[in-house]
Amino acid sequence: MFSDEIIREIDDIIARYPVPRSGLIPFLHVIQREQGWISPEAQTWAAERVGISPAEVAGVVTFYTMFNTRPVGRYLLQLCRTISCKLRGSREIRNHLEQALSIKPGETSADGLFTMMEVECLGACGTAPAMMINEDYHENLTTERVDEILAACRRDAGTEVER
């Protein structure tokens, strides 16, 4: 399922803790980094490696919203919908993203590049509206800025299309 290098990284993580199960969350972060999501097979594998049941792993994976329980696009857009962002136009940003990508929150664009999710406060309330794309913050969003960001993602992915 994973390369020897990744398995070594996971073993190193587990070894840092007094009991293997304590390393489960950083372990799951490695899986998600490698696969983009945490599949049922990966959950079973993680359970075996740390000596707990797959149901316990599933409980962790489904509790924390940062873990993806299904495949996502190359760019995971997490748009804040909490009060500061809402007051500063996050609904307009969401509508714009829906139109630009032809998807609703929770869906992935037809080209597989973008998955959009609405999330709670990202801790960037002072620069609302905010969203994260993968690990990067994008703040003070406007619809024009969103278009620039999406174009940059497409350029990076080598899929920019002429309009």
Nearest approach, Cβ of residue 94 and ligand FES (Å): 12
Nearest approach, Cβ of residue 131 and ligand FES (Å): 9
Please list, residue by residue across 44-82, b when 16 or more beta carbons sit within 10 angstroms of its beta carbon and e when fewer do. Answer: ebbbebbebeeebbbebbeeeeebbeeebbbbbbbbbbb
Nearest approach, Cβ of residue 80 and ligand FES (Å): 3
Mapped onto helix, strand or coil, the DSSP state of residue 52 is: coil
Between residues 101 and 141, which has the closer beta carbon with respect to ligand FES?
Answer: 141
Structure tokens at 31: 């899986």
Nearest approach, Cβ of residue 139 and ligand FES (Å): 8
Between residues 38 and 85, which has the closer beta carbon with respect to ligand FES?
Answer: 85
Q: Given the rule CB under 6 A, which residues bind ligand FES?
A: 80, 82-85, 121-125, 128, 130
Between residues 62 and 142, which has the closer beta carbon with respect to ligand FES?
Answer: 142
Tell me how far apart the alpha carbons of residues 64 and 123 are, in angstroms, rounded to a whole number: 17
Torsion of CA 59, 67, 102, 162, to 10 degrees: -160
Between residues 103 and 119, which has the closer beta carbon with respect to ligand FES?
Answer: 119
Count CB-CB contacts under 10 A for residue 91.
15
Count CB-CB contacts under 10 A for residue 140.
12
Nearest approach, Cβ of residue 136 and ligand FES (Å): 14
